[in-house]
């Protein structure tokens, strides 16, 4: 079953940050040649926890999909791209993810096709949303984000959260980890800034395409903000790997099934 990984990297100092900006072009060549990769994206982030339009030149991410967990672990440990990024980064972390459900499209396909009969997630639940914002709706979209960020930041249940993106202002990704489905659904469906934003998305058609996916968290590696990415009580078993702790554009999508453009996903829980 395909396994997704989100690898986050923090770069300190001007030389390291200029280096990773160059990697936005150079790393693509190596990633395209890696036959294990079914899908990948190189992403930047916004300031704070990423949910702002102002770029954060110190935090970057690689999102990837692999044929299975073994390939994912081998790739993260041994891929020249991941090794180079870890060596240059001041800290890095990777989350291993098993798709539970996914609807919508990303670059014309759905990269997170789950097992036809996925197991119920036991332990942390990760949610990823990705959307291309219509230029004419971008201002309205970003006006809503500060209120959403404030609410999700105050939610005692959210165990990790970050905003990343492929193209500043227009192609946005949110990633969050929750202890269970119920706590995530309360945030997504509540009559708060997030719930009202989802209603506006549906009513006004803000996005040209969108994708919402849920994952079981298989494992985590590395540190973020000087601590394990997940608190000990929320962590799945640490993966046994020899890799050192550690993480916009058209990219390779070999081996993925085509997916028709979505007609506005209707499950509000997925838009966490």
Q: Cβ-count burial of 59 within 10 angstroms (0-12 exposed, 13-18 middle, 19+ buried)?
A: buried
pLDDT (0 to 100) of residue 3:
96
Mean residue pLDDT across the chain: 75
Kindly state the DSSP code that residue 160 receives in the 8-state scheme: E
pLDDT (0 to 100) of residue 193:
42
Q: CB neighbours of 48 closer than 8 A, spacing ≥ 6?
A: 56, 149
Report the distance separating Cα 236 and Cα 124, nearest Å: 8
Q: Closest Cα partner for 128 from 89, 158, 102?
A: 102
Report the distance separating Cα 185 and Cα 268, nearest Å: 8
| Number of CB atoms found within 10 A of residue 27's CB | 21
Band of residue 244 on the pLDDT scale cut at 50, 70, 90:
very low
What three-state secondary structure class fits 268? helix
pLDDT at 149 over 70: no
Burial profile 131-154: b = 16 or more Cβ within 10 angstroms, e = fewer: bbbeeebeeebeebbeebbebbee
Band of residue 210 on the pLDDT scale cut at 50, 70, 90:
confident
Q: CB neighbours of 101 closer than 8 A, spacing ≥ 6?
A: 114, 118, 213, 214, 270
Band of residue 200 on the pLDDT scale cut at 50, 70, 90:
very low
Averaged over 195-222, what is the pLDDT? 70
pLDDT at 106 over 80: yes
The percent of residues in the chain predicted with pLDDT above 90, rounded, is 40
Report the distance separating Cα 107 and Cα 92, nearest Å: 27
**Token pair belonging to 218:** 């298989």
Report the distance separating Cα 165 and Cα 42, nearest Å: 8
Band of residue 241 on the pLDDT scale cut at 50, 70, 90:
very low
CB 74 within 8 A of CB 5: no
Q: Which residue has the tokens 């949303």?
A: 129
Averaged over 91-105, what is the pLDDT? 93
Q: Within 13 Å, how many C-alpha atoms sit on residue 223's CB side?
A: 7
> What is the value of pTM for the model shown?
0.75
**Token pair belonging to 181:** 């489905």
What three-state secondary structure class fits 216? strand
Burial profile 88-121: b = 16 or more Cβ within 10 angstroms, e = fewer: bbebbbbbbbbbbebbbbbbebbbbbbeeeeeeb
Averaged over 217-240, what is the pLDDT? 75
pLDDT at 258 over 60: no
pLDDT at 209 over 90: no
Secondary element (H or E) of residue 138: helix 138-154
Report the distance separating Cα 141 and Cα 151, nearest Å: 16
Report the distance separating Cα 123 and Cα 131, nearest Å: 27
If one compares 39 and 155, the residue with the highest pLDDT of the two is: 39
CB 162 within 8 A of CB 229: no
pLDDT (0 to 100) of residue 65:
97
| Range from 39-43, 44-48, 152-156, 226-230 that averages highest in pLDDT | 39-43
Averaged over 174-184, what is the pLDDT? 84
pLDDT (0 to 100) of residue 254:
39
Averaged over 211-237, what is the pLDDT? 82
The percent of residues in the chain predicted with pLDDT above 70, rounded, is 61
pLDDT at 239 over 60: no
Q: Which fold has domain 3-270?
A: Alpha-Beta Plaits (3.30.70)
């Amino acid at each position: 079953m395909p396994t997704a990984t989100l690898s986050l990297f923090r770069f300190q100092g001007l030389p390291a940050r200029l280096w990773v900006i160059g990697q936005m072009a150079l790393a693509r060549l190596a990633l395209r040649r890696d036959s294990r990769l079914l899908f990948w994206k190189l992403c930047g982030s916004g300031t704070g926890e990423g949910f702002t339009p102002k770029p954060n030149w110190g935090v970057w991410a690689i999102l990837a999909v692999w044929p299975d967990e073994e390939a994912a672990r081998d790739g993260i440990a041994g891929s020249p791209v991941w090794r180079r990024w870890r060596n240059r980064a001041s800290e890095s972390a990777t989350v291993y993810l098993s798709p539970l459900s996914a609807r919508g499209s990303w670059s014309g396909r759905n990269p997170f096709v789950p097992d036809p009969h996925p197991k119920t997630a036991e332990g942390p639940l990760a949610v990823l949303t990705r959307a291309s914002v219509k230029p004419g709706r971008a201002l309205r979209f970003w006006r809503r984000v500060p209120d959403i960020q404030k609410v999700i930041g105050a939610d005692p249940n959210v165990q990790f959260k970050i905003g990343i993106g492929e193209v500043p202002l227009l192609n946005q990704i949110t990633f969050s980890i929750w202890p269970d489905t119920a706590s995530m659904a309360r945030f997504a469906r509540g009559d708060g800034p997030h719930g009202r934003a989802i209603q506006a998305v549906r009513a006004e058609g803000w996005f040209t395409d969108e994708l919402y996916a849920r994952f079981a968290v298989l494992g985590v590696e590395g540190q973020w903000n000087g601590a394990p990415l997940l608190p000990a009580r929320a962590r799945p078993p640490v993966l046994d790997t020899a890799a050192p702790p550690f993480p916009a554009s058209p990219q390779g999508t070999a081996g993925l099934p085509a997916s028709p453009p979505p007609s506005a996903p209707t499950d509000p829980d997925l838009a966490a």
